[in-house]
A = this chain, B = another copy of it.
Amino acid sequence: MIDPVFLDTPLYRCEALEPGLGCAVSIKLETANPVRSFKARGTELVASLLPDDGPRAVVCASAGNLGQALAWSGRGRGLDVTVVASRHATVAKLDRIRALGARLELVDGDHELARERAAAIARHDGIRLVEDSLDIETCEGAATIGLELVEDLADTVPPFDAVLIALGGGAMATGVGHVVKALAPGVEVICVQPLGAPAMTRSWRTRRVVTTDSADTIADGVAGRCPIPAVLDDLLLVADDAVLVQESSIIAGMRMLLDHAGLVVEPSAALGVAAILEDPDRFAGRHVVTIVCGSNVDVDAYHRWVGTAP
């Protein structure tokens, strides 16, 4: 059901990164596709599974990547797509959502307010609400990354023994985590979240939902404040660890991926490298896969972050 353009993404060792990180590093690259993030794996499922005899319309809240992916998947299937986003979302993401023909509604607030508004639209219009991380398609879509990783595990030398996954709402962490723990339980599943948006990590650590009053991070894709209880339950089953990283480490990770891997990535996609930078002893001598999950950035902000000026 998923367009092949989103599947079988590159997995490759990046030795140029390794002297700076002290371990073997492989990149699972989710940016070389029409929406530049992994999110379409899930929206392809959503759009494919929408009943033919019901409303051919969907709505979601999004920091930008889910909305872009849903717009792409919906356009190809004749769906009417509405995306609700924060007015402060990354401009490049909003532009792409519009360009893909979706209706974009902006709210004066953060992602949690966008979620409320999307739910209200769904109720009012009687259409499908796509809830990232809660709706199983969004997790199963991400889980296909895990299937690909496990399939390639035997071919990696040495075999990788940890996967670093950006943690936001939890779709990628629970999806990939479930597959990895089921099929390759020896591989450590490590979720990485910004210290400035730590709600899910704190929830995982205390085994109950912890919300925060604000989120303050450049990693817009993972800047939630209100973890979904059912997602936390799943995460407790599959994550071996959840760690928090500083903004400066995220930026250092973005810069390393630019300088040594030639990759422009959005902040969320640098969380894995940031985790290695903050705790090199933990990873020393190991082989770590980091999922580079998106590359949708505002170019000016990107240059500001990584220390280059347009």
A297 touches B262 (CB 8 A): yes
Within 8 A of B (CB), among A1-42: 4-5, 8-16, 27, 29, 31-34, 36
B10 touches A32 (CB 8 A): yes
A5 to B14, CA, bound (A): 12
B12 touches A10 (CB 8 A): no
User: How many Å from the CB of A32 to the closest CB on chain B?
Assistant: 4
B15 touches A99 (CB 8 A): yes
Chain B residues contacting A263 (CB-CB under 8 Å) are 264
Which of A51-59, A158-166, A274-282, A301-309 faces chain B? A301-309
A263 to B36, CA, bound (A): 11
A202 to B99, CA, bound (A): 41
Q: Which of B16, B32, B155 contacts A29 (CB 8 A)?
A: B32
User: How many Å from the CB of A96 to the closest CB on chain B?
Assistant: 7
Q: In chain B, what residue has the closest Cβ to A297?
A: B262
Q: In chain B, what residue has the closest Cβ to A294?
A: B262
A303 touches B295 (CB 8 A): no
Query: How many copies of this chain does the complex contain?
Result: 2
Q: In chain B, what residue has the closest Cβ to A261?
A: B36
Chain B residues contacting A135 (CB-CB under 8 Å) are none
Chain B residues contacting A32 (CB-CB under 8 Å) are 10, 12, 27, 29, 32
Within 8 A of B (CB), among A230-274: 258-259, 262-264
User: How many Å from the CB of A266 to the closest CB on chain B?
Assistant: 9
A259 to B303, CA, bound (A): 11
Q: Which of B14, B36, B297, B308 contacts A303 (CB 8 A)?
A: B308
A272 to B305, CA, bound (A): 30
A258 to B303, CA, bound (A): 11
Q: Counting CB contacts under 8 A, is A296 at the interface?
A: yes
Check A13/B34 contact, CB under 8 A, given A295-B262, A309-B308. yes
Chain B residues contacting A183 (CB-CB under 8 Å) are none
A26 to B297, CA, bound (A): 20
A310 touches B310 (CB 8 A): no
For the complex with contacts A5-B12, A262-B296, 13 further pairs of A-B residues with Cβ separation under 8 Å are A8-B8, A10-B10, A10-B32, A10-B33, A12-B32, A12-B33, A12-B34, A15-B34, A15-B100, A29-B32, A258-B264, A262-B297, A264-B264
Chain A residues with a Cβ under 8 A of chain B: 4-5, 8-16, 27, 29, 31-34, 36, 96, 99-100, 155, 258-259, 262-264, 295-297, 299, 303, 307-310
Sample of 6 A–B contacts (CB below 8 Å): A5-B11, A12-B32, A27-B32, A29-B32, A262-B264, A309-B309
6 shortest A-B CB distances, which residue pairs?
A10-B32, A262-B295, A308-B308, A262-B264, A29-B32, A12-B33
